[in-house]
Chain A
Amino acid sequence: MLLKVRNRIKEIRLAKGISQIQMAEDLQITRQTINAVENHKYNPSLELALKLMKYFNVTIDEIFTLEED
């Protein structure tokens, strides 16, 4: 059984009206990384995941879910 990590970062970011550049500046990551994470091409490290939780002020299960492929 293959499990895949899904995230709602794009949805949350757009709901809060934050641009990718703004988010990249605030979290000190590249815009390409935000794109890759939002398109489920890269799973962020635990450190970045915790930073994202703090940045959006949400819990981990509000951002990340584990789904069957």
Chain B
Amino acid sequence: MKKKWPLIVAITVVCSMSIGWYLGKLLVPDLPVGTVTAGITGSVLGVGIVIGTAKFRESRKSHNVPDVDERTWINIKNFYAFSLYISLFGSMLLVIVLFSLGVETIEIGALSIYLLALFMLLVIGTLVVKRQ
């Protein structure tokens, strides 16, 4: 049964993506196919690189010491609790600064880049905390 799991996950992902693609085409007639394809390819490549690196590191490990344990989880939880306040107060500060500079509207594109940067910082922070 354990060997079948990757196949089940792969089928589920492909089916979900196909349904999503079909619904997307149905709901948005002028769907930018190239952008969506590039997005999906990028995501798949990114996940592939992460899984590949993890498997490679696992195969090179000479000892059976785990990467995470109870103290690591506590550290990660503390980091998320701390970063929640930092990101909230930081975002509020950014809004105040922008508003005081006379900016009253913001593009969704700019907002998505800001959120992407925030997520990247969170991921980098998590990796740093995990290693401590």
| A interface, CB within 8 angstroms of B | 21, 24-25, 28-33, 36, 42, 44-45, 47-48
Contact = CB atoms under 8 A, between A and B. Distances in A.
A42 B65 contact: no
B70 interface: yes
B63 A30 contact: no
A25 B132 CA distance: 18
A33 B70 contact: yes
B66 interface: yes
29 contacts: A21-B63, A21-B65, A24-B63, A24-B65, A25-B63, A25-B64, A25-B65, A28-B65, A28-B66, A28-B69, A29-B65, A29-B66, A29-B70, A29-B71, A30-B65, A30-B66, A30-B68, A30-B71, A30-B72, A32-B71, A32-B132, A33-B69, A33-B70, A33-B71, A36-B71, A42-B71, A44-B70, A47-B70, A48-B70
Contacts of A33: 69-72
Contacts of A42: 71
A29 B65 CA distance: 7
B67 interface: yes
A25 B67 CA distance: 11
Contacts of A36: 71
Interface in B32-60: none
Interface string B61-92: 00111111111100000000000000000000
